[in-house]
Every structure is written in structure tokens, then in C-alpha cells.
Chain A
Amino acid sequence: MTSAQWARLSQDLFNAAMAAYIAAMVGYFHYLVFRKRPAWIAARGLAVVGVGAHTASVVSRGIAAGRVPWGNMYEYSSLLALLVVAGYLVIVEGRYKVRTLGGFVLAFSVLTMGIAAVRLRVPPGPLVPALNSYWIKIHVVAAIVGSSLFALGGGVLTILYLVQDARERREAATLAAQAPPPIMGGASIDTDPDAPPHFEAGGDDPAAGTTPVPRALLPPAAVLDRMAYRTIAFAFPIWTFAVIAGAIWAENAWGRYWGWDPKETWSFITWVIYAGYLHARSTAGWKGRKAAVLALVGFASLLVTYYAVNLFIVGLHSYAGVP
């Protein structure tokens, strides 16, 4: 096959993956609301198919360009979206057995791919000299894995935690307002992370409550919080390594390991905010929601590091390749 045919194939697979993701997203949201097991099975199957097609798309893009398939922003976005979905399937569904969050994760990936397809798509080409180094394999891979985990933990899971936490607080306030207060049952937050839709905090017997308690769609806030924390704690050393590898590469390419280039600055800011998040979780008065807001700020900073620095701020890292 010629390079152009590989590029064509890559693009077709990209579109197929995106279609599969969109269908899977619909399936996951359906499962979130109605808890029909077939919907989840179908959604999960579609997501896996999407990951397969997406992986093939990334590989064929690499063959078309004759180099690693993360040399410009289109390719980076595509790989990031792929890793976020794969990370969700492995970490959230595989490890934590939480099935209800797929729709949100896929929505993030579909959005990222949409922006990539509309705004950032460029034909495959050789790397600019500054990128032509084996460090692209080390630094960029670490950055992309770290980013995808931050997007998952600091972005999607943290937003869901804040939503669910607000809900639980409202419910607790409602319950507290009722007299006499109901006895809090043994519904430990740890035992059932994937609670059925009629899971009610503090209400073991549905008949006992006179006011209908709204159904809890999401896993309990404590579970979301723990998942978000674990994901971020997993991402943080990877991001640290990405920044260090970037510094070593910069020393090699530009003669200094740190020059406060916008990309360096923003990856540092992101690092600082997540470092703050990790500390905040063990600081009195910062636990819970305040720490979560920090994680969210870190996610925003990550988006700036990625989109704004590449597209709008002039610096040495202007590799977007977007004309």
C-alpha cells in the first residue's frame, strides 16, 4: 500500500471509531438511566470495537507518515482520546467495576476527536527537525498517558464527584429536616460501588420513606472521589516524568533544560496544581470539595497546556502543524 492509501485507511478507521464511540456513548447513557444490562453489554462491545478501530487508525497513520503517530496536534488528540477510552475500560470498568460512567468518558473522547477532525486534521508528513529525536517516544508518550489519566481523574471523575456530592448533601439536608430523623442504615459506601438505580442513601426500606427519594444515578460520591484520587495519584508521577524528560530533551535540542517557554510554563502550572491537590487531600479544611475544585482547575490548566499553548500562544512548542 502507498502512503496515501494508509492515510486514507487511517482516516476511515478514525471515523469508524468515532461512530462506534458515539453509539457506545448513547448505550452507556441509556444504561446509566435505565440500568438494562443488555444496553451496557452493547455499549461496552461498541467501545471495545471503537478502541480496536482507533488503535488500527493510529497505527496506519504511523505507517503512512513513516514515524511515530504523535507528531502533530491531530495525531496527539487522536491518541489522547484513544487512551482515555482505554484507560476508562481498564481502570474504571476493569478495576473498580463501575459501569455507569462510560457515557461521560466517551463524550470527552468524542469531543476531543471532533475538534481534532474539524480543526486540526493535516495530512501525514515528516517531523520538523526539533521533534526528530528518540525523546519524542519518551517525552510525548509520558505526556499523553499522563494527560489522558488527568483527563479521566481530574476531569470526568472529579466533575461527577462534585455533582454527586452536591446531590448527597441536598439529600442529607432533606433527611435532616425530617423529624424524627431516620436511622442511618448500614449502607456502607464501600460495599456497593455500582449501586442499583433505586439505591438510597440511608433508606434500606423503600416503603418507610413517605417522600419519594430521587434515584441515585451515579456511584456514591465517596467512591467517585476515591477513583478520581487514585487516577490522579497514578497520573502525577507520569506527568512528573514527562516534564523531566521534556527538560532533558530541551537541554539536548535548545541548549537549556528550562526556559519558561509557554508549554514548559503551563505543564509546570498543571504539575503545581495537581501537587497542590495531592497535598490538599491531607490538609484539614481542604479535603473533599475544595480539593476536587483544585483537581478541576488542574484539568482546566491541562486543557490550556494542550490547546491554548499550541494554537494561540507563540512559543517553541508550536508544533500543532495547523496552517
Chain B
Amino acid sequence: MRPILMKGHERPLTFLKYNKDGDLLFSCAKDHTPTVWFADNGERLGTYRGHNGAVWCCDISRDSSRLITGSADQSAMLWDVKSGKQLFTFNFDSPARSVDFSVGEKMAVITTDPFMGLTSAIHIKDIAANPADQVAESKLVIKGPQGRINRAVWGPLNKTIISAGEDAVVRIWDAETGQLLLENDKEVGHKKPITSLAKSTDGSHFLTGSLDKSAKLWDIRSLTLIKTYVTERPVNAVAMSPLLNHVVLGGGQDASAVTTTDHRAGKFEAKFYDKILQEEIGGVKGHFGPINALAFNPDGRSFSSGGEDGYVRLHHFDPDYFKIPSI
């Protein structure tokens, strides 16, 4: 499996996302400019200029017409995917960390960081079909969790919001009222900050990765812990194959400590696990630095990883990969 190296960012990658059709790959980095690539050959298609800070997260509408990005410049932006035009800017008083479109794209959930005395918050915005009708007001603001909320996504039928962050707790909120519905069982939950969260394609379960060197699979409705994947390094990014029962974990030693040891010491591999048996089945090496972002192509035949080293590595699986026996 020879990866395609995509060098378009000057700073560490933060987030990767494929569109629904799996032909486009959107990448976010600390260099202010989200970029879109052809998911097949890694050719750069265009950039979205306008942010004035690190871009932490993005989401693409189902019809690949809209892009939403959240940035450290205390704003979230709506873009026209095709033309790269800014359609609307949501301004906040603190950096926007995570963004996610609801089913039907009539709403978006945006999280903001604790900043200058402000606590972290989850904002729910209405998204107008026509950008001209777009309003900046939040439909609902949820506050409560201590520390940064690293990721918030929609639950089934847009009825709930699932959030996870620095306090290591996964929470489910009512998306209508903002009430806290569920918190994960402390006994089995993560012990250190949760860095990433990925939903399954059908939205029935999700995977969280944490600095406690593990990833956990949860039921999205009951918040029951289903699986735990244990690794040797802090997990920064997680992804689930839509095709096979595989999960991928990426991460590594803290970026500030990597130069002090052998390059293998950081273990900057993307590790594949059997989703059901929780056993490690393989690894993909390559990045010089921790992996910050992982995404599976919706067809399950390729995946990409984004690293602290500023590269996106696009891997098309060898035919052998699909022959990995499963139970």
C-alpha cells in the first residue's frame, strides 16, 4: 500500500472529512486555510480562504454544496463548496472547536472553548436553506461541562447532542431543551481527556479516543460501553471502517517530546483493530509526528491520515486488506 502524500498545509493537520459520495476530502489545519482534495488521486482542488486562525473542524452537507468550518479566530463559517465563497460567519467570543451538521442540514452544532473567563459551550444554530436568510442567533446554548469540549455531534433524528471533551466524560443532551440526559458510567469511562469522537455511518454507535491510551465504542442511544481498544500511546484520532469491522486509532507522544527520542518512540502509526474482538490487526506507519486526524472514505476502500508533520497521507487499501479474515 503506497500512500499518496498530500502536502498543502504548512502547519499540523487538525481534521479530515470525506463528503458523502467519497470523491472529495476536506482537510483542516492550523494554517487558517481548509483545503479540498480529490479523494482518489490526492490532487488539490481548492482552498477556502477567510479564516484568521487555526481551523479545528469542518463538516460537509450531504449534497456536497455547503461546508461549515470552526476556527480559533472565534468564528464558524459557512462556505459554498464549489466556488469557495464565504456565505456566512458566526462570530463567538471564544474559539470554535467542533462543528457538525444535523440530519437534513437544517441545524448545526458548534462548540466553543473556555476562553478569558468564559466557559465552554455548545451552540445550536439554525441553518437557512438560502444564505440570505441566515441569522446569527443561537437556537440553544448548552453550558456545563468543565474544560474544553473537543467534539459534539448530533444523535439519532437530531433529538440529542453527544459531547465529549477534556473532563473525560461523554454526555448526551436533549437537543430541544438543552437538558442533560445521560452521562457515561464513571467506572468504565475514559480516565483522561477525550480527544476525538467518530460516529458510525448509520449513526447507531460512536467511537471515542482519549489520552488515556484507549478508544471506546458506545451505543448512541443508551450510552452503553460496548468495546474498549487499548493501545500504547495517547489517542488523538479515531475512525471506523464503513465496510469492514475495523477501527483505526491514531495518535502518539506529545508533539513537544518527539524530538527527544527515536522516531519510533512516538509510535506514530495508525493502528487497525478488529472492531469485535478488540485485537490489534495491523498498523500503517509513515507520519513523522503524532497523527491528529483520521477519516475513512465512505466506500471503505481508502483512508487518510493527517499528522502533526503537516502532511495528509491518503492510503488506498491493497486487495489483501479485504482478505483479512473476520469472524
**Is chain B found bound to chain A in the same assembly?**
no
